[in-house]
Structure 1
Amino acid sequence: MPGMPPLVAAPVDSVVQPLTVPDAAHAVGSVLAQLLDVRLRQSRAVDPLFTQELADRLAGLVQRGGKRLRTAFTLCGWRAAGGSDDTAAVLRTGAALELLQACALVHDDVMDGSVQRRGAPALHVELARRHWAVGMHGSPESFGTSAAVLAGDLALAWADDLLTETALDTPHGPRLHQEWRAMRTEMVAGQYRDLHAQAARSSGVDEALAIATLKSAQYTVARPLALGASLAGADDHVLDALRAAGRCAGLAFQLRDDLLGAFGDPQLTGKPADDDLRSRKLTYLLAIAVQLADAAGDHLAAAALAPDSNPESEYALRQVRAALERSGARELVKRKIKELTATSLGHFERTGAHPDVQREFAALVERATGVATRPAEEVA
């Protein structure tokens, strides 16, 4: 459309003050607020109904936030590679990641049939309720699913637009875009492997780790670190160290998320605790429990965890949780998270980053994995 304003309004480009990793969540929230204001105004010019019923809801999901971990890791990678001046491009990249995350969450909730996200109804549920409330024709569920797929696509389009604008405005744009392209493909590949594993009723540990690496570790930590470092013109040595650190921290993050999915409090996590168990989603926690139960000859645990199990009732869910405990899988996963966290810090040290940046990374990994990485007196 002729005369259409750029995706990000001009005030964002004035973000040049020193920014530390702990500040990243608030800072990217301000960038997203400006970005979404521009995008929603553009959407209203295209179609007011589309904006009111779909784009506004998507913007609400994005603004409800989350941990903003991807933005924080992007800033950390940038600082590790020597970035120290204008943070505008870093924050725009972080905002693109947050939009891509919104796309992934909306589509993931549809595929998993999840009803809650970030303490509110999942977008497909909200849209289905809207359909029912106003008495529209046809199936509310089908409408909600279809509309949510479009909302996820819209988030992806906004993310790609923003990242492309950022890449065009930096001397390191080709490397930045290369990392982005790789991450998008990995994310979709991981999601498909997840769907395939559920349909095939897979229980393999290697398969579970492959899914966790593609769907979470790369996308949550490794690629954001590399995106930030690319903006600072990092060399291959720094990028390799950051990718290794990110894969380990990202896996630890996903393994913790698996534990929360099985044993977490929905009031704290903002999503139901039983979805992964009811759908028998292949997680490392489940795969290692099956392996341990088989090795121990624990037939009761093996039956509860079997590929053809269908834990719909509360009693069946308690049996699955008991099997995860009794097999030793829960404790083994906790130990694995600690090992991966320690290994991640070792890889990050290879970047030669300033000690302050190493401490920021350690604090960020601690936040992501729940594993203490600093002495108690330093935390206090």
Structure 2
Amino acid sequence: MSTRQIRKEVDEALLGFVDRQRPLLLGVSDELEPMLAALDTLLAGGKRLRPAFCYWGWRGAGGDARPGIVTAAASLELLQASALIHDDVMDSSDTRRGQPSVHRRFEALHREARWPGAAAPFGEGAAILLGDLCLAWSGEMYEASDLAEERLARGRPVYDLMRTEVMCGQYLDMLEGTRATGTVETALRVVQYKSAKYTIERPLHLGAALAGASPELTEALSAYGLPLGAAFQLRDDVLGVFGDPAETGKPAGDDLREGKRTVLVALTLERANEAQAETVRRRLGDPDLDPAGVAELRTIIEETGGLAACEAMIDRHAAEADAALATAPITAEARDALTALTVAATARRG
């Protein structure tokens, strides 16, 4: 199955699941329609990387093309929706995938209806609840995937670990932004738990576990998935500063306004002179940062060598992933598909 076909089937599985849930919510109250509309908009975007890695973990371990694996893999998109919704609340992000973030949608609903009280707490509360609902639904969709019970039982510990790790990574990310004293080492720790494991390693492990993979294969998938996951997040960090909004779905330099303490920022501060470091610390996290301010910070990131160092780090991690994949005991079809996903996850865009 091609990556495009996997995405199509994942989309269909997601749409079918949410449509089956729709009567339940609307049976409670038709005032829940905005929740469904917000979720529909969010789920319409995304690269579907986690389901793809889960699927190829399954096929790489010898699993066949049965429909149930696509449904189980697609459930990871509901977990991702939960993480994104909550992440946007914590970061006070205005946009996601080129659309207003969920909490901003509900703020706007509050204002348009002219309800009493402040709009922001309502928006944040509604978003948190929708994120919680997506988290609950991710488990429900996984269990309803029509895979044999013994397969689902093998996958549950991996799914549980994945959910725990991403919450830990999110907390560490928030902590780094609050303390504002992070190093390259601490930023890489966030990368490992918030992204590398969550985006690539654990989805691969989940698919492989569902297929009954050996410990040796699971270890080989880690050797590939962890460095690739790091490269993927580092690329995302670069795009968060230098990316084209048409590609990223966010305004140019939005990560700078949000004050994200990424590896890119840590590498820059590590190389900056006193004046450059003072400018970065003063302007990073300014919600009113204008295009001139974004340009100033971009210049410092480039002139210090922070960008070049981050690009070199991406290349090293991608090369490590390629080397591990070349020797992994997986099917040839899965190796070819994962090679293509390596390129997609680390390509320079925007």
Same topology, TM > 0.5: yes
Does 1:367 find its partner at 2:344? yes
Count of residue correspondences: 347
Deviation of 1:70 (Å): 0.7
Structure 1 residues 216 and 255: alpha-carbon distance in aligned structure 2, compared to 1, 3 A threshold: same
Deviation of 1:32 (Å): 0.9
* Correspondence 1:8-47 to 2 at 5 A: 19-47=1-29
Q: Match for 1:78 among 45, 58, 64?
A: 58
Does 1:341 find its partner at 2:318? yes
| Paired residue secondary structure (2:150) | coil
Aligned equivalents of 1:310 and 1:352: distance in 2?
45
1:173 counterpart residue number: 152
Using structure 2 for the length normalisation, give the TM-score. Answer: 0.94
1:16 counterpart residue number: none
Deviation of 1:57 (Å): 2.0
Structure 1 residues 30 and 304: alpha-carbon distance in aligned structure 2, compared to 1, 3 A threshold: same
Deviation of 1:346 (Å): 1.8
1:7 counterpart residue number: none
2:47 counterpart residue number: 67
Aligned equivalents of 1:272 and 1:215: distance in 2?
22
Aligned equivalents of 2:282 and 2:166: distance in 1?
25
Note the alpha carbon deviations across 1:2-35, whole angstroms, 9 max, x for none.
xxxxxxxxxxxxxxxxx34442111100111111
Aligned equivalents of 2:115 and 2:55: distance in 1?
46
| Paired residue secondary structure (2:64) | coil
Identity %: 36
1:12 counterpart residue number: none
Does 1:322 find its partner at 2:299? yes
Note the alpha carbon deviations across 1:164-215, whole angstroms, 9 max, x for none.
3348734222220000000001110011001111111122111100101111
Structure 2 unmatched ranges of 5 or more? none
Deviation of 1:137 (Å): 1.1
Deviation of 1:53 (Å): 2.0
Does 1:98 find its partner at 2:73? no
Structure 1 residues 110 and 326: alpha-carbon distance in aligned structure 2, compared to 1, 3 A threshold: same
Q: Match for 1:313 among 272, 283, 289?
A: 289
Structure 1 unmatched ranges of 5 or more? 1-18, 373-380
2:275 counterpart residue number: 300
Aligned equivalents of 1:29 and 1:39: distance in 2?
16
Deviation of 1:308 (Å): 8.1
* Correspondence 1:136-151 to 2 at 5 A: 136-151=115-130
Return the letter of the residue paired with 1:341. Answer: A
Aligned equivalents of 2:204 and 2:4: distance in 1?
15
1:228 counterpart residue number: 207
Aligned equivalents of 1:21 and 1:343: distance in 2?
23
1:237 counterpart residue number: 216
Does 1:114 find its partner at 2:93? yes
Does 1:163 find its partner at 2:138? no
| Paired residue secondary structure (1:331) | helix
